[in-house]
């Protein structure tokens, strides 16, 4: 029998929860009951464990092969030089000094930071992120300047807890939510209770919506509010446990994610290769080992300019 999308989603949720090592005895008992309830549950979980577990195991063991000198063939430099130029341009634009100067808290590549705020709230900053905080007796205004953060909010009806980005604002209506700047948009994922999202479109129209627990939305002034999506909260916050979770994601997206944790540039100069699908759970502190695992599993090659510019190709 075909395994349904619902069963696959449940298996994925259990895999991520078990990987977090934070399950109680009751959670383990519930997992055992779920496995026994339907043979397809066991089949879906075993398939997921085999696929993700294999890729996850490759990364810690993989060593980076010695860099060989590229052949002086014109075709290779024809695509390598634009990639090098693009990498240099990105290096110049990436993580500008003014962002750091504006931020009260920031993190470097591969660094995560927990901050306890004066109002009793806690924020968790992901890699290469920057946040400005303005909390006083009458307001709680925070601005995410770069990257990603997860907020655990202390209740205070007199002072709404609001996170601003260049695209709009998020106001806490409950406890916990994740905010990420991604692809020119703000992405909000709610892990507990709900939040209100407000923005003004480029045409001046004000938009407002409420995002409930287990939902996600992306928005910007240009594109407005996106559609609400259901999420796996454990997968969204896997970065807090030092994990990256990919399920049927394009290789181009995976490399973009790895670049957030690597002080350098991992590139691909082939639109077809960028659409190759990737499944796996990887560690955030081993970007180069993850890249080596991807090369092995997808049968790719790489041209390396040290560890700071690596281009994947056939």
pTM of the model: 0.70
List the structure tokens of 194. 């709900």
What are the beta bridge partners of residue 249? Answer: 278
Using a 10 angstrom Cβ sphere, with 0-12 exposed, 13-18 middle and 19 or more buried, the burial of residue 108 is exposed
| Residue with the larger pLDDT of the pair 180 and 109 | 180
List the structure tokens of 71. 């052949």
- The predicted model gives 17-45 an average pLDDT of 81
pLDDT at 1: 63
**Among all chains, which residue has been given the structure tokens 């350098």?**
264
Report the C-alpha gap between 135 and 151 in whole angstroms.
14
| Residue with the larger pLDDT of the pair 91 and 237 | 237
**Among all chains, which residue has been given the structure tokens 């705020």?**
117
Q: Report residue 51's pLDDT band, with 50, 70 and 90 as the boundaries.
A: low
Q: Report residue 86's pLDDT band, with 50, 70 and 90 as the boundaries.
A: low
Helix (H) or strand (E) holding 187: strand 185-192
How large a percentage of the chain has pLDDT more than 90? 42
Residue 96 has pLDDT above 80, yes or no: no
CA angle 292, 55, 261 (to 5 degrees): 55
Using a 10 angstrom Cβ sphere, with 0-12 exposed, 13-18 middle and 19 or more buried, the burial of residue 37 is exposed
Report the C-alpha gap between 145 and 258 in whole angstroms.
20
129 contacts 149 by C-beta, under 8 angstroms: yes
Cα-to-chain-centroid distance, residue 292: 20
pLDDT at 226: 95
Per-residue pLDDT of 256-277, as tens digits, reads 999 989 988 999 988 899 999 9
Helix pair angle (25-37, 39-61), 10° resolution? 120
Residue 61 has pLDDT above 50, yes or no: no
pLDDT at 9: 75
């Amino acid at each position: 029998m075909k395994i349904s999308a619902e069963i696959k989603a449940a298996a994925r949720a259990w895999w991520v929860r078990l990987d977090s090592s934070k399950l109680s005895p009751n959670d383990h008992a519930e997992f055992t009951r779920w496995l026994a309830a339907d043979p397809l549950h066991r089949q879906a979980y075993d398939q997921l464990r085999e696929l993700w577990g294999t890729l996850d195991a490759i990364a810690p063991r993989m060593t980076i092969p010695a860099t060989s000198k590229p052949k002086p063939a014109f075709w290779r430099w024809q695509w390598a030089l634009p990639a090098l130029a693009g990498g240099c341009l990105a290096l110049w634009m990436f993580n500008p000094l003014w962002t750091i100067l504006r931020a009260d808290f920031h993190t470097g590549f591969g660094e995560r930071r927990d901050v306890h705020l004066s109002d009793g709230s806690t924020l968790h900053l992901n890699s290469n992120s920057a946040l400005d905080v303005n909390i006083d007796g009458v307001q709680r205004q925070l601005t995410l300047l770069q990257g990603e953060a997860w907020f655990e909010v202390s209740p205070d009806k007199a002072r709404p807890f609001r996170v601003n980005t260049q695209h709009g604002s998020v106001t806490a209506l409950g406890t916990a939510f994740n905010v990420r700047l991604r692809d020119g948009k703000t992405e909000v994922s709610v892990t507990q209770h709900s939040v209100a999202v407000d923005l003004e479109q480029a045409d001046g129209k004000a938009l407002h919506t409420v995002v409930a627990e287990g939902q996600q939305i992306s928005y910007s002034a240009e594109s407005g509010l996106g559609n609400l999506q259901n999420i796996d909260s454990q997968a969204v916050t896997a970065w807090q446990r030092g994990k990256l979770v990919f399920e049927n994601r394009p290789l181009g997206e995976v490399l973009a994610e790895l670049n957030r944790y690597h002080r350098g540039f991992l590139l691909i100069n082939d639109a077809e290769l960028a659409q190759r699908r990737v499944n796996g759970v990887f560690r955030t502190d081993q970007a180069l080992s993850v890249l080596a695992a991807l090369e092995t599993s997808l049968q790719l090659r790489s041209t390396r300019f040290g560890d700071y510019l690596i281009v994947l190709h056939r």
